[in-house]
């Protein structure tokens, strides 16, 4: 080994102990690093080779770690920090050990290695030696999830961490993380998050007032006021004047310290504020911010956002060329610092920066809106604009795929789906104009229940894990969902803290599974969308699929991009829709279907609007001819999910309903149908029926005919029925899991938290997410079980969806409050038809036809018979025995044929034997 020019003690004197700057808190001491000449990793390792004592070695690792960190050689710094931690692993843990783990997590965060960062930050946050370190670790975990785009989870970690630091931390830490949580809260679009953010910022401002004389603290004060302005500027806060007050205050302070970067940022944000509230002054502020940007280097992101805001401004002013030009400028400046232009966007780069990522999504929206407007206006350049739009769509598709793949929080995923939904609608329309119906169908599918299909697909893969792990996973989910359900604006701090702790532990549990079963996570790949070609191949000659895409836009100058595709085995019929007309027709239609039609005038009004809606949604004679006497699968969108198509009137002369010559069923999407139908299900009993009849909740009326309903059904089936006080949540969960058919004849009520009522208790929607069934069919013979909260791009969160999540192959659910007597009649006939080997669709539609045939006048109102709809698989629940009969018949024929051949063979032998005897 070559001799070193200085001894270890001299090095230790030169390198005084110092700490890493962790997000605003510096513990470094001044040292003279320049006096250590040509010191590198090789020399450091040579020194360590001479040291035997572990305690001394740990101190030297610490020195080298800090030295190389100061030199910005992060990988080498991590190497020595890990060696120090390894030695201390075998000793008694203390606050210093927690500090080292925190530093390691922070360094991995600096490297953008989020998985490793989270691993060590979780350990640091769980240690109880130092409350301050715990708070810092939680906040850094918040930053990890912010970088992932998981904003709700990020907010929760920041919130917990800052509250700890308010008691145990230093002012600089509290201020730094309060500014961080402010960025996060703009993305969650949650009023409570914004209120909490404002409180943290005001607390930080009060801390700063003691030290505002320093330049650094004046800059922090300016940033606090800018973020207070941005928080109040959010539309949900309804605080236009307060936002203006803080923008002016921030601008005054920025000019006082002559910080041009902050001045430019404040003016740009002020421009966005006026744009959000539809003020023409936005143009002045945005142009002013661009003038500042042109005088200062390194403000590409501010410039990009200014161009994005101008794109929105010009679109609203109907200057579509300028809107388009500014959207392209926004893209260019988003990636100038990475030497990438609009045509060279890589989703992996986008994922590293949340400002670019979110702003890019909005830019795509206005880029496509401007292009569509120009397509509608221009004939000469129409094809060029369509091709330009397709380039934007493909880039957007790559970006949103990366975002969704890296976001694990369900609420965040719903938010991304909502943002993507509008662009998917544009994409389906653009490809419709291009006459590329395969691609148009692909985006129709992307825009419907894709997260549900993915969850069911992944849940099916989960079954490969050991039972003990699955049980523990279920326990975690159940507890978290229960706590989430309890959370309200007035909820106690204890419940919120419990929810945070359980989420935290669940994350650790999932990380441990990832380590022990890496192959399992490789299996959880993207759920495949079914192609248009596959759909057509799978259709029989009598089935037609009609998929809709409805634009939900209230802008004055919006261009309607609503379309539909009517698909048969050998034909594709595309069509456009008038969403404004349809929306108005649905409002009138729903008023009539939810009540009996009591006189001729009401019947006439109903027939008129039901026929008008029929013509709007099946807009050509060719489509109407194609669906006649067919099995039609409707894939609805937006508010079409709340109406029964079978109640449409096909002509106002005969007043015939669509159901009279067409079988109607519904699907969330063809991709969901494909995924869900491929799951293997086994059941131990044919039927499990539940009818509480009476309820302890006095607000719920007695359902006198419900017990009769399920007992009548069970007479033809081999199952169990529970009635009266025997029907509780526990008895349902115990007896329903292995039934082929589950039937609930009870009350349900809808809100943002749908619920099914039993005799003494109830089952909430969130509880279905941890319950599993193997049902071929679930019948929810209760009120409004198909009604719930609409999530754009995903569908309605209702009880029907909950049962699909828990394993059902198909669900019959209701659209409004049903009539008890009519329901019993319908359900009895429905099950008779099912047992007669009819398909589920035929069974329900035939039951409705029979009802119409046997009733007249007001009793024929759709209110009585149209509420129940079939969603999902339409195949027979009870397969026909014809196949078995054929097998027996063919087997018998073969047996007779074999006996005949054997007899003929024996006869030939006897004849041959006689012939031989005759010769002699």
Q: What is the pLDDT of residues 789-807, one digit of tens each?
A: 666 666 666 788 889 988 8
Interstrand relation of 748-749 and 739-745 (parallel, antiparallel or unpaired): unpaired
* 716 part of a folded domain: yes
Sheet strands side by side (includes 762-764): 748-749, 755-757, 762-764
User: In which band, very low, low, confident or very high, does the pLDDT at 440 lie, cut at 50, 70 and 90?
Assistant: very high
- 796 within 8 A of 764, measured Cβ to Cβ: no
Q: What average pLDDT does the segment 90-112 reach?
A: 92
Closest by Cα among 88, 118, 97 to 106: 118
Angle at 192 between CA 189 and CA 196, to 5 degrees: 110
Domain of 780, CATH number, reads 3.40.50.1460
Same domain, 656 and 723: no
The whole-angstrom distance between residue 588's C-alpha and the CA centroid of its chain comes to 32
Angle at 396 between CA 390 and CA 399, to 5 degrees: 150
Q: Where are the alpha helices (DSSP H) in 688-773?
A: 706-714, 729-736
pLDDT at position 790, please?
61
User: In which band, very low, low, confident or very high, does the pLDDT at 374 lie, cut at 50, 70 and 90?
Assistant: very high
Which region, left, alpha or beta, applies to residue 319 given φ > 0 means left and ψ of -120 to 50 means alpha?
beta
Same domain, 651 and 742: no
Residue where a domain terminates, one of 614, 630, 660: 660
pLDDT at 866 over 90: yes
Q: How far apart are CA 728 and CA 749, in angstroms?
A: 17
Who contacts 680 (Cβ-Cβ below 8 Å, separation ≥6)? Answer: none
Same domain, 557 and 502: no
Locate 369 and state its tokens: 């809106």
Interstrand relation of 755-757 and 663-666 (parallel, antiparallel or unpaired): unpaired
Lowest model confidence (mean pLDDT) among 97-106, 255-264, 550-559, 568-577: 550-559
Same domain, 706 and 818: yes
pLDDT at position 917, please?
46
* 866 part of a folded domain: yes
- Report which DSSP code applies to 449: S
pLDDT digits (tens, 9 = 90+) for 687-740: 999 999 899 888 888 888 888 889 888 888 889 999 999 999 999 999 998 999
User: In which band, very low, low, confident or very high, does the pLDDT at 14 lie, cut at 50, 70 and 90?
Assistant: very low
Locate 196 and state its tokens: 């909490």
pLDDT digits (tens, 9 = 90+) for 248-262: 999 999 999 999 999
- Report which DSSP code applies to 26: -
Does an H or E element contain 563, and which? Answer: strand 563-567
Q: How far apart are CA 57 and CA 63, in angstroms?
A: 10
Lowest model confidence (mean pLDDT) among 129-143, 639-653, 802-816, 887-901: 887-901
- Report which DSSP code applies to 793: T
Same domain, 709 and 766: yes
pLDDT at position 562, please?
94
Q: How far apart are CA 263 and CA 441, in angstroms?
A: 47
267, 686, 696 from 141: Cα distances, Å? 32, 49, 46
Top-confidence residue, 101 or 335: 101
| Number of separate domains in the chain | 3
Same domain, 698 and 828: yes
Q: How far apart are CA 415 and CA 417, in angstroms?
A: 5
* 709 part of a folded domain: yes
- Report which DSSP code applies to 855: -
Lowest model confidence (mean pLDDT) among 87-101, 223-237, 745-759: 745-759
User: In which band, very low, low, confident or very high, does the pLDDT at 97 lie, cut at 50, 70 and 90?
Assistant: very high
Same domain, 612 and 757: no
pLDDT at position 148, please?
77
Same domain, 776 and 706: yes
Q: Where are the alpha helices (DSSP H) in 771-861?
A: 799-805, 820-835, 840-854
Lowest model confidence (mean pLDDT) among 70-74, 485-489, 531-535, 562-566: 485-489
* 634 part of a folded domain: yes
Interstrand relation of 762-764 and 755-757 (parallel, antiparallel or unpaired): antiparallel
* 319 part of a folded domain: no
pLDDT at position 336, please?
54
Same domain, 758 and 861: yes
Residue 796, phi then psi, degrees to nearest 5: -95, 130
* 799 part of a folded domain: yes
* CB-based contacts of 575-578 (< 8 A; 24+ apart in sequence): 575/619, 575/620, 575/623, 576/432, 576/619, 577/548, 577/550, 577/616, 577/617, 577/619, 578/616
Closest by Cα among 97, 107, 106, 98 to 68: 107
* 542 part of a folded domain: yes
Length of the chain measured in residues: 920
Angle between helices 579-593 and 600-617 (to 10 degrees): 150
Residue where a domain terminates, one of 457, 482, 511: 511
Same domain, 731 and 860: yes
What is the residue-averaged pLDDT of the chain? 84
pLDDT digits (tens, 9 = 90+) for 583-617: 999 999 999 998 999 999 999 999 999 999 999 99
Same domain, 752 and 808: yes
How does DSSP assign 379-410, residue by residue? SSSHHHHHHHHHHHHHHHHHHHHHHHHT---H
Residue where a domain terminates, one of 599, 631, 660: 660
pLDDT digits (tens, 9 = 90+) for 283-336: 999 999 999 998 888 788 899 999 999 999 999 999 999 999 999 999 888 765
Same domain, 505 and 631: no
> Positive or negative, the Cα torsion across 179, 181, 182, 187?
positive
User: What is the domain range of residue 474?
Assistant: 466-511
pTM: 0.82
* 543 part of a folded domain: yes
């Amino acid at each position: 080994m070559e001799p070193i020019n200085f001894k270890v003690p001299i090095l230790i004197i030169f390198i005084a102990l110092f700490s890493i700057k962790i997000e605003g808190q510096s513990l470094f001491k001044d040292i003279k690093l320049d006096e250590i000449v040509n010191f590198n990793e090789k020399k450091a390792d040579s020194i360590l080779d001479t040291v035997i004592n572990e305690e001394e070695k740990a101190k030297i690792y610490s020195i080298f770690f800090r030295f190389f960190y100061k030199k910005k050689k992060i990988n080498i710094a991590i190497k020595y920090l890990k060696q120090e931690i390894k030695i201390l692993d075998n000793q008694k843990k203390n606050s210093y050990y927690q500090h080292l783990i925190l530093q390691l997590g922070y360094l991995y965060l600096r490297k953008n290695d989020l998985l490793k960062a989270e691993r060590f930050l979780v350990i640091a946050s769980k240690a109880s030696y130092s409350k301050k370190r715990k708070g810092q670790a939680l906040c850094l975990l918040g930053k990890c999830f912010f970088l992932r785009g998981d904003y709700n989870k990020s907010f929760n970690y920041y919130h917990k961490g800052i509250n700890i630091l308010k008691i145990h931390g230093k002012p600089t830490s509290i201020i730094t993380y309060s500014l961080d949580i402010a960025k996060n809260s703009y993305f969650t679009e949650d009023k409570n998050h914004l209120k909490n953010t404002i409180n943290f910022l005001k607390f930080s401002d009060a801390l700063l007032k003691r030290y505002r004389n320093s330049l650094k603290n004046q800059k922090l004060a300016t940033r606090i006021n800018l973020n207070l302005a941005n928080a109040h500027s959010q539309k949900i806060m309804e605080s236009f004047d307060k936002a203006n007050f803080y923008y002016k205050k921030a601008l005054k302070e920025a000019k006082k310290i002559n910080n041009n970067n902050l001045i430019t940022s404040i003016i740009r944000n002020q421009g966005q504020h006026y744009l959000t509230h539809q003020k023409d002054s936005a143009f002045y502020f945005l142009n002013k911010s661009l003038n500042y940007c042109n005088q200062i280097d390194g403000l590409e992101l501010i410039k990009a956002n200014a161009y994005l805001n101008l794109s929105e401004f010009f679109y609203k002013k109907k200057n579509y060329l300028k809107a388009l030009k500014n959207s392209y400028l926004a893209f260019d400046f988003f990636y100038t610092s990475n030497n990438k232009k609009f045509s060279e966007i890589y989703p992996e780069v986008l994922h590293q920066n949340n400002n670019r990522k979110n702003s890019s999504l909005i830019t795509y929206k206005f880029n496509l809106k401007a292009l569509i407007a120009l397509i509608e206006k221009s004939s000469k350049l129409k094809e060029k604009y369509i091709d330009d739009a397709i380039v934007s769509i493909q880039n957007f598709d790559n970006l949103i795929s990366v975002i969704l793949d890296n976001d694990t929080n369900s609420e965040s995923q719903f938010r991304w789906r909502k943002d993507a939904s509008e662009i998917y609608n544009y994409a389906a329309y653009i490809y419709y104009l291009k006459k590329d119906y395969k691609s148009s169908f692909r985006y129709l599918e992307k825009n419907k229940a894709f997260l549900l299909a993915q969850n069911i697909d992944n849940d099916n893969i989960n079954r490969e894990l050991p039972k003990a792990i699955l049980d523990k996973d279920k326990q975690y989910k159940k507890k978290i969902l229960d706590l989430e359900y309890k959370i309200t604006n007035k909820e106690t701090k204890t419940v919120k803290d419990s929810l945070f702790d359980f989420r935290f532990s669940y994350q650790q549990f999932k990380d441990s599974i990832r380590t022990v079963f890496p192959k399992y996570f490789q299996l959880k790949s993207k759920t495949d969308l079914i192609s248009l070609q596959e759909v057509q191949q799978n259709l029989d000659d009598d089935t037609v699929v009609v998929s809709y895409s409805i634009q939900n836009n209230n802008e004055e100058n919006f261009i309607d991009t609503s379309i539909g595709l009517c698909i048969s085995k050998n034909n594709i019929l595309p069509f456009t829709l008038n969403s404004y007309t349809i929306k108005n027709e649905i409002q009138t239609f729903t008023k009539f279907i939810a009540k009996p039609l009591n006189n001729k005038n009401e019947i006439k009004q109903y027939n008129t609007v039901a026929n008008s809606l029929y013509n709007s949604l099946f807009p050509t004679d060719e489509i109407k001819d194609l669906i006649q006497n067919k099995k039609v699968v409707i894939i609805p969108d937006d508010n079409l999910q709340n109406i029964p198509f079978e109640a449409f009137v096909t002509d106002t002369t005969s007043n015939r309903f669509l159901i009279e010559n067409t079988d109607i069923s519904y699907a969330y999407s063809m991709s969901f149908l494909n995924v869900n139908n491929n799951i293997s299900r086994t059941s131990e009993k044919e039927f499990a029926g539940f009818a509480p009849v009476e309820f302890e909740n006095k607000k719920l009326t007695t359902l006198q005919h419900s017990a009769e309903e399920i007992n009548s059904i069970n007479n033809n089936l081999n199952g169990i029925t529970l009635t009266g006080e025997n029907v509780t949540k526990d008895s349902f969960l115990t007896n329903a899991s292995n039934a082929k058919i589950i039937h609930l004849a009870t009350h349900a009520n809808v809100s943002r938290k749908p619920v099914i009522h039993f005799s003494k208790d109830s089952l909430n929607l969130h509880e279905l997410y941890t319950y599993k069934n193997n049902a071929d069919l679930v019948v929810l013979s209760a009120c409004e079980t198909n009604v719930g909260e609409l999530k754009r791009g995903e569908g309605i969160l209702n009880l029907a969806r909950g049962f699909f999540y828990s394993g059902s192959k198909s669900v019959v659910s209701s659209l409004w409050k049903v009539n008890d007597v009519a329901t019993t009649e319908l359900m009895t006939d429905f099950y008779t038809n099912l047992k007669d080997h009819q398909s589920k669709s035929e069974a329900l539609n035939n039951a409705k036809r029979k009802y119409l045939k046997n009733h007249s006048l007001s009793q024929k109102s759709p209110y009585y018979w149209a509420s129940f709809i079939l969603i999902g698989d339409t195949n027979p629940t009870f397969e026909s025995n014809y196949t078995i009969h054929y097998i027996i018949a063919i087997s018998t024929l073969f047996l007779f044929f074999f006996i005949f051949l054997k007899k003929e063979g024996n006869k030939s032998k006897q004849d041959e034997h006689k012939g031989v005897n005759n010769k002699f």
